[in-house]
Amino acid sequence: MSFDVAGSSSRTPHATERSDDEFTTASYPHQPAPDGAYPQLDAEPEPRTTYRSRRRARKPKWLGWAAILLSAIAAGLVVAIYAIAPANAQLAPAAALLTTALLWTAVAVSGLAAVTGTVSVIAGWSRVAGAVGIVLGLTANPFVLFTLVSGASSLTPY
C-alpha cells in the first residue's frame, strides 16, 4: 500500500487488493455478518484453490534387466573364448590375440553388469532383477568362473 505524503486517500486499489465493500459474508461464510448473525449453514462455500498433486516418478525397471543382459553378453563371450581356444592345441598368434581381447572384454562387461545390478538394488529399481544381474555378472567373469571350476574339480574323490 502506498500513501501520498499529504495523506490523501485518492488512490485506486490494485488488482491484487480488495476494497472494503468486497469483504462480505458471501465470500467468507465462516464469519458472522456485521449485525452479528451467522449466514445460512447450507450456503455454498467459496471454492478453494486446489493444486494438482505431484505424481510420484515411476522407477525405471530397465536397469536391473540391463544388468541381466550385460551378464548374458559376458557369458556369451566366455563361451566364445572356450570355442575359439581349444585346450590342447597350440594357438596361432591371431587366435591368441583374439582370445585375450575377448577375455578382457568379458571381464569388463561382467564387471559392468555387477555394478549396474548393484546400482539397481541400491536405488530400488527392479531389485530382484538387479540381484540376479549381480550374481550372473560375477559368475560370468572368466577369472571367477575359472576359480569356481578349479575349486569344484578339486572336490572330486579321485
For residue 141, give the C-alpha cell.
567373469
Domain assignment present for 100: yes
Domain assignment present for 13: no
pLDDT category of residue 31 using cuts at 50, 70 and 90: low
Percent over 90 (pLDDT), the chain? 32
The residue with greater pLDDT, 87 or 124, is 124
Amino acid at 23: F
Q: What is the average pLDDT score of the chain?
A: 76
User: Domain range holding 135?
Assistant: 62-153
Query: pTM of the prediction?
Result: 0.58
Q: What local confidence, expressed as pLDDT, does residue 25 receive?
A: 47
- Compute the average pLDDT of residues 74-90: 79
Domain assignment present for 144: yes
Q: What is the Cα–Cα distance from 79 to 55, expressed in whole angstroms?
A: 45
- pLDDT for 13 beyond 80: no
- Compute the average pLDDT of residues 78-103: 77
User: Number of folded domains in the chain?
Assistant: 1
